[in-house]
């Protein structure tokens, strides 16, 4: 259902049935209220309804419709970050994420869809209240099991489907899983009365109906009715005060559970420890055991897929499986009954510790784009692993190790704010294992430097340096020196940057350390040299980096080396060479969602374009960079060196075009969506030259994985 770059609504996988009156009601409410919340029991179809209603209303919002799925989120501290992700924003400053959200939304007309926040209702209510007050063009359409209870909120209770729509939904889904089962319009195998009775007994709850349809390959409708009767009688004496529909949904899921084989039931329970999408290798490691041999996991997962308990989906990281929240919650109850919850959570944690280690190693390889996609898909479960480590004081070193190992995710994949959240938490723990803590400290210093938080960066790096000296940890000392050099670079202290970065690179060579961070240190030294007027030395350093990157298949650092080479080419008037280098740089940065590298390259390309004699196109590119800076944060913390291309382009293009024409061209560029801006910068250059870590082109299967 994705309509444009301004929308991230998911495509529908099967036909939407019924709810015409509810959609019309929501359309009307969205014209009169800025906060509309659809509430109802789990499985009643809230999520599907708000997505359909948002798509129908999309044309009314010139700045788009964005969906934030909050059900997988467990840490309230990441709520703002989840909204930033939904809006496609990356912020590299120390500004609170809430401020970034408000500044981005303040002058936009946008529909924000929030789904599944009931477990974070208080935090979500506070955030929504503030955003609505500060952003007059913002409208929120929400779906949960309870309302936000804010002033001005229109609450829409969602009832189950009426009988006619329930029958239509059941028969359509039944025809999909059992080709011989035809809809009423095309004839039928089962009697209409039986189907209607089944739909009535399931109270028209879409999830229950879809689960029932998924049972048809094993049972006929009459057989299902008899089993459902048994389940109702079993639950008659259930918890006092429980809503009948809650019991009905639980009955439907419980009856699906009853139809599973013992091995499928066991796997269902164990799968409940996964928060987000999971792959077969993870299931084999986490859920396997004497009762469920690893070589039988595939067939057992397939059985759960056939029964609609587990859903299969294609993702940028490859084939993944997942469970609906309600289904997962049922499995979690059974896992608790089995007394196996703690062991499964630890096995889950161990797998994702191993996955993070594998990803870090493979980041410096031809699989870099695949690693980015894998980490993005695994992020909900990596968060769960971090939370488990933080629960036990004696496992502080594991939390520190995991948060530091994920540096490539925080820095290379545009998640600085989330990385800072976890690193602050793990470093605040009592000192334990020196090596893990030192690593977390220099990664924290790295993230803080990139956020422009000099005070926090210096504090973390100073502590790391002291600890490294005390314990004789030469590698931690080298990384500390490197990050202090990076801080000097971004603070425009080029002599100091050159000194520290040179020291760090010497130490790396002596220690035999070679990875993306070491190569980035070499690029940063080249930046310092080019800014100091030593372009030949800078070019030599970056050519060496490019050769190593080509040999190792590394793309992320290569893009920054290309930027420096392009900068040097511009200084000597080799504009064609600079344009070619920047084209490759922009394609890589866009693929990795690295907005810092992307905006620097686009601004330099704008200056090159002005130098080539096309001031109008230069101004358009200058304008296209402005929204990127909004997402990144303050333009490189006011650095005069890094800001020079933007200032020079504005001067040159502004003088040639005149103030009015220059502003018009800049406005044209500012209005371009990100993909269109990149396409404009590449002038028709194909975007699919580089594998996309967040796109749809990750084809290779992973190998050498933990477990």
Tell me the per-residue pLDDT of 392-413, one tens digit each, with 9 for 90 and over: 888 889 999 999 999 999 988 8
Strands of 474-590, DSSP E: none
Separation between Cα atoms, residue 537 and residue 46, nearest integer Å:
60
What is the C-alpha separation between 671 and 310, in angstroms, rounded? 42
CA 79 to chain centre: 13
Q: Which residue has tokens 């080298």?
A: 478
Beta-bridge partners for 289 = 292
172-193 residues labelled b (16+ CB within 10 A) or e (exposed): bbbbebbeebeeeeeeeebeee
Q: Is 114 helix (H, G, I), strand (E, B) or coil?
A: strand
The answer to whether 523 and 560 have CB atoms below 8 angstroms apart is: yes
Cα angle value 100/599/545 (rounded, 5°): 125
d(CA 271, CA 330): 11
Q: Phi, psi (5° rounding) for residue 493?
A: -95, 75
In this prediction, residue 705 carries a pLDDT of 45
How far apart (Å, rounded) are the C-alpha atoms in residues 673 and 627?
9
Q: Three-state DSSP class for 374?
A: helix
- DSSP string for residues in 272-313: TT--S-B-HHHHHHHH-BTTB-GGGHHHHHHHHHHTTSSEEE
> Cα separations (Å) of 543 from 266, 412, 514, 568?
56, 21, 16, 12
Please report the pLDDT score of residue 325 as a whole number: 76
Residues 6+ apart with CB under 8 A from 89: 100, 101, 104, 630, 631
Q: Give the 3-state secondary structure of residue 36.
A: strand
Query: What is the model's pLDDT at position 688?
Result: 41
Q: Burial code of 288-313, b = ≥16 C-beta within 10 A, e = fewer?
A: beeebeeeebeebbebbeebbbbeee
Name residues whose C-beta falls within 8 Å of residue 573's C-beta, 6 or more positions apart in sequence: 611
Please list, in sequence order, all residues whose beta carbon lies within 8 angstroms of the beta carbon of residue 585, skipping any fewer than 6 positions away: 559, 560, 562, 563, 566, 597, 601
Q: Are 429 and 449 in contact (CB under 8 A)?
A: no
Please name the residue that has the structure tokens 């080019």. Answer: 530
Give the CA dihedral 256, 261, 267, 272, nearest 10 degrees. Answer: 20
Q: How many Cα neighbours within 13 Å face the side chain of 207? A: 29
Give me 184's structure tokens.
Answer: 């009423």
Q: Which two tokens stand for residue 437?
A: 């803590």
Provide the pLDDT for residue 304.
86
Q: What is the 3-state secondary structure (H, E, C) of 593-662?
A: CCHHHHHHHHHHHHHHHHHCCCHHHHHHHHHHHHHHHHHHCCHHHHCHHHHHHHHHHHHHHHHHHCHHHH
In the prediction, which pLDDT does 130 show?
95
Question: pTM to 2 decimals?
Answer: 0.81
> DSSP strand E in 258-411: where?
311-315, 318-322
Per DSSP bridges, beta strands 138-144 and 110-115 are parallel
β-strands 311-315, 318-322: how paired?
antiparallel
Res 476: pLDDT: 95
Angle between the N-to-C axes of helices 206-214 and 244-259, in degrees from 0 to 180, rounded to the nearest 10:
20
499: Cβ contacts below 8 Å, ≥ 6 apart = 485
Residue 263 Ramachandran class (φ > 0 left, ψ -120 to 50 alpha, else beta): alpha
**In the prediction, which pLDDT does 318 show?**
84
CA 634 to chain centre: 22
pLDDT score at 74: 83
Burial of 551 (0-12, 13-18, 19+ CB in 10 A): exposed
Within the chain, which residues score under 50 in pLDDT? 1-4, 183-190, 231-246, 684-707
């Amino acid at each position: 259902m994705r309509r444009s770059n301004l929308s991230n609504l998911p495509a529908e996988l099967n036909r939407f049935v019924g709810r015409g009156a509810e959609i019309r009601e929501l359309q009307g409410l969205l014209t009169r209220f800025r906060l509309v919340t659809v509430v109802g029991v789990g499985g009643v179809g809230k999520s599907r309804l708000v997505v359909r209603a948002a798509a129908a209303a999309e044309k009314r919002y010139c700045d788009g419709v964005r969906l934030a799925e909050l059900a997988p989120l467990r840490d309230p501290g990441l709520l703002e970050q989840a909204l930033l992700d939904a809006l496609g924003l990356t912020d590299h400053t120390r500004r609170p994420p809430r401020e970034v959200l408000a500044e981005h939304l303040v002058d936009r007309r946008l529909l924000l869809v929030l789904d599944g926040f009931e477990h974070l209702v208080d935090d979500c209510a506070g955030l929504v209240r503030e955003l609505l007050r500060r952003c007059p063009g913002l409208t929120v359409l929400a779906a949960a099991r309870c309302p936000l209870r804010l002033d001005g909120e229109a609450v829409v209770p969602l009832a189950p489907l009426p009988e006619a729509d329930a029958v239509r939904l059941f028969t359509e889904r039944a025809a999909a899983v059992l080709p011989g089962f035809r809809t009423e319009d095309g004839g039928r195998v089962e009697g209409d009365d039986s189907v209607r009775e089944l739909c009535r007994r399931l109270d028209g709850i879409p999830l229950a109906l879809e689960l029932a349809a998924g049972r048809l390959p094993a049972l006929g409708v009459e057989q299902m009715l008899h089993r459902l009767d048994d389940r109702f009688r079993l639950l008659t004496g259930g918890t006092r005060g429980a809503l009948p529909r809650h019991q009905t949904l639980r009955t439907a899921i419980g009856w699906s559970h009853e139809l599973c084989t013992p091995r499928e039931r066991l796997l269902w329970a164990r799968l409940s420890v996964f928060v987000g999408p999971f792959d077969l290798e993870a299931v084999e490691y986490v859920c396997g055991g004497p009762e469920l041999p690893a070589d039988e996991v595939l067939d057992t997962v397939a059985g759960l897929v056939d029964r609609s308990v587990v859903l299969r989906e294609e993702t940028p990281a490859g084939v993944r499986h997942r469970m609906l929240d309600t289904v997962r919650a049922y499995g979690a109850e059974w896992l608790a009954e089995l007394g196996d919850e703690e062991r499964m959570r630890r096995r889950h944690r161990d797998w994702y510790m191993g996955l993070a280690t594998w990803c870090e190693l493979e980041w410096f390889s031809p699989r870099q784009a695949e690693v980015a996609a894998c980490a993005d898909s695994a992020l909900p479960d990596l968060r769960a692993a971090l939370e488990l480590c933080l629960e036990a004081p004696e496992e502080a070193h594991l939390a520190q190790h995991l948060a530091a190992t994920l540096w490539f995710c925080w820095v290379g994949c545009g998640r600085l704010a989330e990385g800072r959240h976890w690193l602050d938490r793990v470093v605040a723990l009592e000192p334990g294992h020196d090596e893990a803590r030192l690593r977390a400290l220099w990664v924290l210093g790295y993230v803080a430097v990139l956020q422009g938080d000099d005070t926090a960066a210096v504090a973390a790096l100073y502590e790391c340096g002291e600890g490294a000296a005390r314990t004789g940890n030469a590698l931690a000392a080298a990384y500390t020196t490197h990050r202090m050099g990076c801080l000097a670079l971004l603070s425009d202290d080029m002599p100091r940057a050159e000194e520290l970065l040179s020291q760090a690179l010497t130490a790396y060579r002596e220690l035999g350390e070679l990875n993306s961070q070491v190569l980035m240190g070499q690029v940063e030294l080249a930046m310092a040299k080019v800014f100091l007027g030593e372009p030949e030395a800078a070019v030599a350093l970056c050519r060496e980096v490019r050769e190593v990157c080509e040999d190792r298949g590394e793309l992320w650092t290569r893009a920054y080396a290309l930027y420096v080479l392009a900068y040097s080419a511009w200084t000597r008037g080799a504009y064609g060479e600079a344009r070619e280098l920047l084209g490759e740089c922009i394609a890589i940065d866009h693929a990795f969602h690295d907005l810092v590298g992307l905006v620097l390259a686009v601004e330099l390309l704008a200056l090159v374009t002005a130098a080539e004699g096309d001031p109008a196109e230069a101004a358009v590119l200058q304008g296209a960079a402005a929204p990127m800076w909004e997402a990144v944060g303050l333009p490189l913390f006011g650095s005069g060196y890094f800001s020079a291309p933007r200032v020079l382009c504005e001067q040159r293009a502004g003088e040639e075009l005149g103030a009015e024409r220059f502003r018009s061209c800049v406005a044209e560029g500012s209005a371009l969506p990100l993909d269109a801006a990149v396409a404009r910068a590449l002038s028709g250059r194909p975007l699919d030259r580089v594998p996309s870590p967040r796109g749809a082109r990750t084809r290779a299967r992973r190998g050498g994985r933990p477990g």
